[in-house]
Structure 1
């Protein structure tokens, strides 16, 4: 007779007395060492205490190659606690070298038990001895060189696509380029203007406080003009665009990666570099130098407002001093730096976006990494430009 599960069925009418508590689950190992049988009785539920684990040495008396069978005719009910107990029994049988025969179990319990793994998951791997220092340094160096080569290849593909744009043979859509130009240019005028105005005003205020000690207040116009045209406006504009546009590029590309839009483009044979990356990089490269010029003018105006309001000088005299003290090469130098800053920000943001994962959390991580890499890279590039300008006498 096949085993079955006995359950109590209550009538619809309310019983005159409260229902008796469920019988506690009990198991006994019967039979001899050649034919062991595990007899189960009671209600194997969580409420009745069926979560007690089976001892790992409960089948230690068994012999190898014997088969463990079950008798569940006395089971009055069961839930997930019964499956957990049977899984423990299965592990103990494996350790004792016995075969686990689930035929005596309820059919539904057999199906649930079959979904569980044969063995528990392995614990945390043992800590390996760290690699030697030279090996770690070599691995990091190779990783950096590989990433540099990938970014360089991406830059070359973008430059090639930009050249093809002049002949109308690139895969870039003019609609995408126009949209990116608007987002990277006119949409950023307000924040770039506010930041540069405040920076110019602060620089003029600090310069006035110090130069007043030497009765050289008029030279604050030269200080604000040269500092903003050569360094401050280019750096501040690049930092603003790294946080505003660079993070947006990385988030957009990582979102497309998560939505499998990048995969779809690759399946159809559409180059990602020309269809997605080229409009982003080209638009920022075109707009950043113009934003630098705009930011420099606004910064000089901020210094003008503070200086005219705090010292006895006519507005015309301040402007004449500013234009006489700033050479054209200062604007050219800042203009060239802005272009390289823009190219670096766009390339880094696009590369980070392509490296991102496919979850929603990875989008935020990619945007954060793009902003951090962009800002750190801008400062590092500005240091390189400063050394080059000193060496060239600019």
Structure 2
């Protein structure tokens, strides 16, 4: 039995009851010779003119031009049909005709809606964009909106911590220990390298200046105090911001793109408890330990310079360091490290949850998480220094 030849795609324009009707029939697929939109442009203009100059009844004269579709004879279609109808809609918009797509197949209407949402707006080459005042206003609006989101984030975080303390927080314990390993043990190599080199830099700078006064032994005081009070915690926070905070934002942002976070909410699992809480706890626990480790490596870096370039013995250097550093200095560093760890975790998780629904948005969220963490770490360092001095802890 020979299969019947599918009818070719056709488009016919007619005037019915004061409205323009576009009859679409046949098989509208890419392997067919699809009619061009320009072919019906003249027919639409003619039908519109006939409606205005022909039978001028009271109803017809009062109605604005409108185009409707007739698809009862449509046998099959694919994206070729979508492209054609989209072109017809643009043609109607140019001629100020209302286009009624209600008679089109439901799937076709859905594809047309998606095409409208994803279509890039046409840019006028002479359009210079918003003015300077407009940009400032938009930035202020974004800042206010971002402030509200940050406050909501910390509010939900406080509720999650309360549930954790009450033993009712829902998160996977196994994932918590994996995060601790990633944020703690896996960060030791980069923290070791950076801390040791920064200690060497401080040692060289101090040795060059103190050698003019014959006081090279005080290089140990300079390196030890600077590292324990601030540099160890600062190095650890910045390293974790670029390493762990970025990973948090990328992972949660990818889950946002894949709609996994929406699935968690559907199942009644708060993302704040399941995703944010274990990461916050892991960094708050690991950052002080990494800070102590960074302090040790920074002091060893200064000791290397003091013994090689300064001519000091290792014993003399370590004894001088021990005499300069007190428990109050160590406490300052631990407090700072804990605050920096919380900032890194909050920045990474917040930007991840704020991520858009595209792959490009994940990269933007990752970059924003690192920048946000570093900026707030520097601000926190300045604020904590003033607070420690005010309460006498730095004395």
| 2: CA distance, partners of 1:368 / 1:215 | 47
Specify whether residues 342 and 158 from structure 1 end up closer, same or farther in structure 2 by C-alpha distance, changes over 3 A only: farther
Q: 2 CA distance for matches of 1:233 and 1:213?
A: 27
Deviation of 1:97 (Å):
6.2
Deviations 1:192-215 (A, max 9, x none): 111100100111011111211121
Q: How far off its partner does 1:132 sit?
A: 7.5
Structure 1: which 5+ residue stretches go unaligned? 6-36, 39-64, 71-77
Deviations 1:158-204, CA, capped at 9 Å, x for gaps: 3213313xxx4321222111111111111111111111001001110
Match of 1:85 in 2: 38
Task: State which structure, 1 or 2, has the greater radius of gyration over its C-alpha atoms.
Answer: 1
1:257 matched to which residue of 2? Answer: 256
Distance change >3 Å, CA 109–CA 153, structure 1 → 2: closer
Distance, in Å, in 2 between the alignment partners of 1:319 and 1:298 is 13
Note the C-alpha offset of 1:288. 0.3
Which runs of structure 2 are paired with 1:44-123 in the superposition (5 Å)? 79-80=33-34, 82-89=35-42, 92-93=45-46, 96=49, 115-117=84-86, 118-120=88-90
Separation in structure 2 between the aligned mates of residue 251 and residue 315 of structure 1, nearest angstrom? 44
TM-score (norm 2): 0.71
Structure-2 change in CA distance of 1:293 and 1:110 (3 Å): closer
Do the aligned residues in 2 keep the contact of 1:246 with 1:349 (CA within 8 Å)?
A: yes
1:233–1:92 CA distance, 2 compared to 1 (3 A): farther
Alignment match, 1:351: 350
**TM alignment of 1:235-254, pairs within 5 A:** 235-254=234-253
Closer, same or farther: CA 294–88 of 1 in aligned 2, 3 Å = same
- Equivalent residue number for residue 319 of structure 2: 320
Looking at structure 2, the residues matched to 91 and 330 of structure 1 have their Cα atoms a distance apart, in angstroms, of 83
Give the SS at the match of 1:116: helix
Q: Equivalents in 2 of 1:312, 1:229: separation in Å?
A: 23
Paired residues in the alignment total: 324
Whether 1:172 aligns to 2:171 is: yes
Aligned twin of 1:275: 274
Question: What do you get for the CA RMSD once the two structures are aligned?
Answer: 3.7
Q: 1:90 to 1:185 in 2, by over 3 A?
A: farther
Q: 1:137 to 1:238 in 2, by over 3 A?
A: closer
Q: Is this contact kept in 1: 2:20–2:44, CA < 8 A?
A: no
- Higher deviation after alignment, 188-197 or 151-160: 151-160
Equivalent in the alignment of 1:198: 197
Correspondence for 1:75? none
| Alignment check: 8 A CA contact 1:224 1:300 kept | yes
TM-score by length of 1: 0.72
Q: Partners in 2 of 1:187 and 1:345 — Cα distance?
A: 16
Cα deviations by residue, 1:220-256 (Å, 9 ceiling, x for unpaired): 1001001111111111110000111001111111111
Residues 176 and 69 of structure 1: CA distance in aligned 2, closer, same or farther (over 3 Å): closer
Cα distance in 2 for partners of 1:335, 1:181 equals 18
Cα distance change, pair 67–316 in 1 and its aligned pair in 2 (3 A): closer
The answer (yes or no) to whether the contact 1:258–1:358 under 8 Å persists in 2 is yes
Q: Is contact 1:162–1:170 with CA below 8 Å preserved after alignment?
A: yes
Match of 1:364 in 2: 363
Q: What's 1:30 paired with?
A: none
> Shift in Å at residue 79 of structure 1?
3.5
From the superposition, tell whether residues 252 and 107 of structure 1 become closer, same or farther in structure 2 (CA, over 3 Å). closer
1:228-239 residue pairs with structure 2 within 5 A? 228-239=227-238
